Structure 1
Amino acid sequence: MLTNEQLIQIRRDLHQIPELALEEKQTQKYLLQVIHQFRQDYLEIKTVSELPTAILVRVKGSNPTKTIGYRADIDGLPVTEKTGLPFSSKHDGQMHACGHDIHMTVALGVLNYFSEHQPKDNLLFFFQPAEESKNGGKLAYEQGVFTGQWRPDEFFALHVTPDLPTGTIGCRNGTLFAGAAEVNIDLYGQDGHAAYPQRANDMVVAAAALIEQVQTVISRSIDPIAGGVITIGKIQAGTIRNAIAGHARLEGTIRGLTQTMIERIEQRLREVTTGIGQSFQAKVKLEINQGGYWPVENDPEITAQLITYLKNDSAVNYQETEPAMTGEDFGYLLAKIPGSMFWLGVQDDSQLHSATFSPQEEAIKVGIDAIVGFFKQHM
């Protein structure tokens, strides 16, 4: 069995080699080296050409009635690390700023346990590339990675959070993470001289009107109890102060707690942009890209079983958490395969995705023990 010291070293090794979406070659090589050191009696390891940096590991059960899946994301972020840690990232401009090094280490710890203690049911471990961008979960599903004996009947995953005390596990039934979609809006009118506005069609004015109208989508078209978000985070228009801009581009994001809500927000956004186009005699191009970043909607029955176990485990400090508006592509997999996701507390003053994020490593063993215990009971 891996010791706590070995697990921490694995985490630190992984922390030093973050790689961006679909480029996780060094990470995959390291993971395979560790997995091949485990007892292989019950293991079958698989890589797939359709998603070259992914790894699947099947643990054969002694008397299986189902296959339980566990997913760990493996990619990093385009963030320059500023933690000052002796095991900081060796890859310039890349960092495990979202805790995926912890995610992978916990998964390896759970896999290591069941490589030495054969489970009753089959287990499937999915080390997934491209969670932060390029929706690796959706790619894997659409490319047929989960077929035959490689398809889980249930799927589980965790995500670290600096907002919970170290080792605290948080979960809830229903939506854990919101779904997220990217929004790009281009407005095309007619440029011209600032002194002759009647001869031009000003897209700065049109963009301003559009931004105001977009705010009413949430305030007047969405149930205030349910909640939703549209943020226009970037706007580009014009090149000089005394010229009228004939083009404006807005970029933003949609967040919603259910897929139905996201689709409702998208519908209203299309209607608003169409109306602005007609009002300002402008050509409007709207692009909405959600990809695999669907809401993480936990299965009611499975999650109830998980929460009951966590509440009854004296070694676990369980806390029911509120939904978060952050996005996670595990939501797409949960829309196809029932399962549950939960938080693992790694208390830190810095937030996820920040250059100074430094999760507490004591949480690793807590996460492993809780997952192992639940899986043994759940079989």
Structure 2
Amino acid sequence: MGSSAAVDKGADFANYFCTYGFIYHQKEMLSDRVRMDAYFNAIFENKHHFQGKTVLDVGTGSGILAIWSAQAGARKVYAVEATKMADHARELVKANRVQDVVEVIEGSMEDITLPEQVDVIISEWMGYFLLRESMFDSVICARDRWLKPNGVMYPSHARMWMAPVRSGLIDQRVSDYQVAMEEWRSFVDETKTYYRVDMGVLTKPFNDEQRKYYLQTSAWSNLHPKQIIGTPAIIKEIDCLTVNVDDIRTISTSISSSISEENLRFCGFAGWFDVHFRGSDQNPVQKEVELTTAPSEDAGTHWGQQVFILDRPERVQVADDLTIQFSMSRSKENHRLMEVDIKYEIRRQSVRTSQKKFYIE
């Protein structure tokens, strides 16, 4: 994944873009075999979309998607990158002898100008739980400005998923929160005893900080499929060719899930995504490729899953049904982070309702 966007550019660069300017961060993504195989296969199994065509790579990062596009036969590839990683991308393009095809452009997608429209827009724009980072906004901007009417998007479709889970993360997070509060109480006592200053008035705001960090901020995990204890449900489906920013700014839906086994420890919910390379109705792929970040025994990704833990686990049975009200919107403080509200009901012989706010940071 590279980067390309514009809003309050100084702060945005410091908080987001600069991360992608480091080779170590690019290496993490380039080492993700699920990610790499999906894009490699999507390009080289569908060369008809690239041969003799113009391609725009949004957020090119190291430039690997642009290089592959050139190797697949593209006539011209515009590789846009907002960070100084553009310099490294140029070196890689030259080292792989595609400099006559690939032009690396340093700048945000919203600001640059291309000399022509393109046949293909390719980008690895996906963040945690698909939409964290809001990089898809730049892809939409690129599509609306530069994609030909019969052009195709790589990937072409995306889906967000959620399911109830069991996980030891809940015990670890609760334990870490309790330790933090115990250390705070010791700190207050010692400060009052040794330095004659009572810090107790800050106990509540400190507690609020720690609760948000340990108990309300989603946790990254690569779960095993057996940790999924109910039927997964689709939260959102996206057609990359037609979606607009307002469609993804706020997501609100109602889903349901049925518990799959007896006497399970229900600890929270896991969210993940998949994307598909299908081309378009007018210009389909020859071979469809899927990239999924679902829990897997042996094919984890750097995206993993986002786990939203309950305040305390509870027992559920195979006959239980969950009705879940899900809402996700962009943080007011940082549009690249997300706030999530989950309200759920467990339907047994009686109904139990719970609600909680989470943050994806």
Q: TM-score range by the shorter chain?
A: under 0.3
Structure 1 length normalisation: TM-score? 0.26
Structure 2 length normalisation: TM-score? 0.27
Highest RCO, 1 vs 2 (Cα 8 Å, sep ≥ 6): 1
Going by fraction, where is strand more abundant, 1 or 2?
A: 2
